[in-house]
Amino acid sequence: MIKILLVDDQMILAEGIKSVLETCNDFKVCGIACNGAEAIKLVEKYRPDVVLMDIRMPEMNGVVATKRIKEIEPDIKIIILTTFDDSDYILSAINNGASGYLLKDIGSTALIDAIKNAYSGDTILPSKIAKKITDAAMMVSSDKEIKLKKTYNLSDREIEIALMLNDGFTNRQIASAMKLSDGTARNYISSIYSKLGVEGRSAAMLKIKEII
């Protein structure tokens, strides 16, 4: 039995979704929250397997709630329930641990299948707006690269490594990901430190965060 928590400030919509989900014998809707703050309380109370999370809500939106819930229960699968125009919110929610997103106009059969797939560990990305989200992510990444190049004159390879440093990759992980020897990776990192005007990883990360 998959326990599901619904989070939506539109109670009529939430009740409708509950009715749809309860037609599936594999599901049990354990609660309905009307905002992110209430969702956190119900997560602690019911320990659901899946949370179906609206984004735009009073008191605490779905992005912040997703982050907080994943900190409390990392194994919970959170699916964002969204409209076409919420791409910035969706990207933030996925970065905070959401398993994907569904459009509010989804059909009942597709909704049931999507929840089962998310519970099994799949990422839910409807093709209707997946490209929009991908484009937004690429624009963010490209913007970071341009800022680093202009500010510190880093090479393309140094930019890639600097962003990995900022994300917490170790020297060995960077060498493996970039298919470099450990020594070559260290040389690139030393060059980055020199261009940033710092002497170590922590200082480099602070400098990079200031720019991006």
Residue pLDDT, tens place only, 66-93:
999 999 999 999 999 887 566 667 777 8
Query: Distance between CA 153 and CA 188 in Å, rounded?
Result: 14
CA 122, chain centre distance (Å): 14
Contact 166, 205 (CB under 8 A): yes
Q: 112 vs 177, which has greater pLDDT? A: 112
The answer on pLDDT for 147 being more than 70 is yes
**Within the chain, which residue ranges are assigned CATH 1.10.10.10?**
134-211
Mean pLDDT over residues 47-75, rounded? Answer: 93
Mean pLDDT over residues 153-166, rounded? Answer: 87
Q: 162 vs 137, which has greater pLDDT? A: 162
Token pair in block for residue 172: 């060995």
CATH number of 134-211: 1.10.10.10
Confidence at residue 65, expressed as pLDDT on a 0 to 100 scale: 94
Confidence at residue 88, expressed as pLDDT on a 0 to 100 scale: 66
**Within the chain, which residue ranges are assigned CATH 3.40.50.2300?**
2-125
Mean pLDDT over residues 134-141, rounded? Answer: 56
Q: Which of 49-58, 115-124, 168-177 has the lowest mean pLDDT?
A: 168-177
Confidence at 196, pLDDT banded by 50, 70, 90: very high
Mean pLDDT over residues 131-138, rounded? Answer: 59
Query: Distance between CA 128 and CA 56 in Å, rounded?
Result: 20
Token pair in block for residue 77: 């699968």
Q: Which of 3-7, 112-116, 205-209 has the lowest mean pLDDT?
A: 205-209
**Tens-digit pLDDT profile for residues 18-40:** 999 999 999 999 999 999 999 99
Confidence at residue 71, expressed as pLDDT on a 0 to 100 scale: 92
Q: State the fold for domain 2-125.
A: Rossmann fold (3.40.50)
Confidence at 128, pLDDT banded by 50, 70, 90: low
The answer on pLDDT for 12 being more than 90 is yes
Q: Which of 93, 102, 212, 111 is nearest to 164 (CA)?
A: 212
Query: Distance between CA 180 and CA 153 in Å, rounded?
Result: 22
SS3 82: strand
Confidence at residue 70, expressed as pLDDT on a 0 to 100 scale: 94
**Tens-digit pLDDT profile for residues 106-126:** 899 999 999 999 999 988 877
pTM recorded for the entire structure: 0.63
